[in-house]
Amino acid sequence: MSSAILPLFEYSGLSKKLIQIAEKVIAGNRISPEEGILLFREGSLSYLAVLADHVRHRINGKQVFFNRNIHLEPTNICVNHCAFCSYRRKKGEEGCWELGIGELVQKAQSHALAGITEIHIVGGVHPDRDIHFYADLIAEIKKILPAVQIKAFTAVEIDAMCRFASMDVREGLSLLKDAGLVSLPGGGAEIFDEVLRAKICPDKTDTEGWLNIHRTAHLLGIPTNSTMLYGLIEDYSHRIDHLSRLRNLQDETGGFNAFIPLKFKHYNNRFSHIEEQTTIEDLRNYAVSRIFLDNVPHLKAYWPMIGKQLAQLSLAFGVDDLDGTIDDTTKIYSMAGSEEQSPVATTDQLTEMIRGAGLTPVERDTLYNVIKVF
């Protein structure tokens, strides 16, 4: 795509401001937070799709990535009280679980024949498990699956497990890295605005804490993902503020691999009265995120949350990553009423989704090294 598309915008009845933003994006220049808010408020879906696709193509060409992965969720017992959470249980409450290291290793081993290259580990903040438990878990998995890469623990989990062990974050992350951790997921970011954060997750790691943990990980050579919870009580200015803080940290460290917008699901939580965002709003959010986060290489659509059909459609709105095969190993979103109640995707299904969008499927590892181009 080139500047040849600009004359089409000029004759499309767009406002002067939207044409100026298009010129900046096509030229590869950064847009401002004010322009990001304007895109949310005034950009048509077709206009946003063209710009987001241009950015995706500039960064990744026609490649769309996926991996062969499973999730391990050690526990849903959690000391935090996030109002939007459908996953958390108290110790002893019906529906809670807490798996030991042996059980988790057995679960990991049972999927080895599927050719997995990544194990993603996240769960609740268990009050009786500190960082030594989780370092031992990683080490035991690596003993039986030495080639599998481990992406594990949100910043919220890292914060708690280090505090429980009276250890600072840098020391704790170094311990996990030595055990075999290669990357952090991006969960726990929710929304960075401090006022909103106090309303939806008052006892969770605060904004500066989340950013500092990811900064520290980056400085230790541990790349991470990033996320944003949207569709709850925020407005467009809060979303752009969140994206701005991520973009600023990426300018500083370059350590984010991907950004994943996480849609609020309203089943079985204290915000169940709030209607979920429409598909149009989902696609708008993907597109603006891709345009605004010009320095984050990958934009992921997490298909177990939004469903395979919408994930495929998102590929026309800047998305270049569909996560992985999952193999029905996660409950975090199914317990909140996600589109995929038994999330399983085969390699063939993922490649067909990508080819159906006119793009090139690429199997990757956790760090986005290419394993196979289909």
- The pLDDT mean for the chain works out to 91
Query: Which segment of 9-18, 22-31, 156-165 scores lowest on mean pLDDT?
Result: 9-18
The CA-atom distances, in angstroms, between 15 and each of 39, 44, 46, 291 are 11, 11, 15, 18
User: CATH code for 61-373?
Assistant: 3.20.20.70
Predicted pLDDT at 85: 76
Identify the three-state secondary structure at position 35: helix
Which residues are paired to 183 by β-bridges? 151
Residues 231-276 pLDDT 10s: 999 999 999 999 999 999 999 999 999 999 999 887 667 777 888 9
Give 44's DSSP letter: -
Residues 124-178 pLDDT 10s: 889 999 999 999 999 999 999 999 999 999 999 999 999 999 999 999 999 999 9
Residues 212-228 pLDDT 10s: 999 999 999 999 999 99
Query: Which segment of 106-120, 138-152, 166-180, 185-199 scores lowest on mean pLDDT?
Result: 106-120
Residues 6+ apart with CB under 8 A from 265: 86, 276, 305, 333, 336, 337, 338
The CA-atom distances, in angstroms, between 27 and each of 4, 5, 46, 230 are 11, 12, 19, 29
CA dist., res. 320 & res. 290, Å (int): 10
Tell whether the model's pLDDT for residue 321 goes beyond 60.
yes
Predicted pLDDT at 1: 42
Q: Tell how strand 321-326 and strand 298-299 pair up.
A: unpaired
Residues 78-105 pLDDT 10s: 888 787 777 778 888 888 889 999 999 9
Which residues are paired to 70 by β-bridges? 119, 326
The burial class, CB within 10 Å (0-12 / 13-18 / 19+), for 274 is: middle
Domain ranges of the chain: 3-56, 61-373
Predicted pLDDT at 215: 98
Query: Which segment of 245-249, 286-290, 341-345, 349-353 scores lowest on mean pLDDT?
Result: 341-345
Question: Is residue 76 a contact partner of residue 123, using CB atoms and an 8 Å limit?
Answer: yes
- Give the pair of three-digit tokens for residue 267: 């089943």
Query: Which segment of 128-132, 241-245, 304-308, 341-345 scores lowest on mean pLDDT?
Result: 341-345
Which residue in 351, 331, 355, 353 sits closest to 343, CA to CA? 331
- Tell me phi and psi for residue 210, to 5 degrees: -60, -50
CA dist., res. 244 & res. 349, Å (int): 35
Query: How far apart, in Å, do the first and last CA atoms of the chain sit?
Result: 23
pLDDT-based confidence at residue 336 (cuts at 50, 70, 90)? very low
CA dist., res. 88 & res. 269, Å (int): 10
Tell whether the model's pLDDT for residue 6 goes beyond 70.
no
CA dist., res. 306 & res. 297, Å (int): 21
Query: How many C-beta atoms lie closer than 10 Å to residue 269's C-beta?
Result: 19
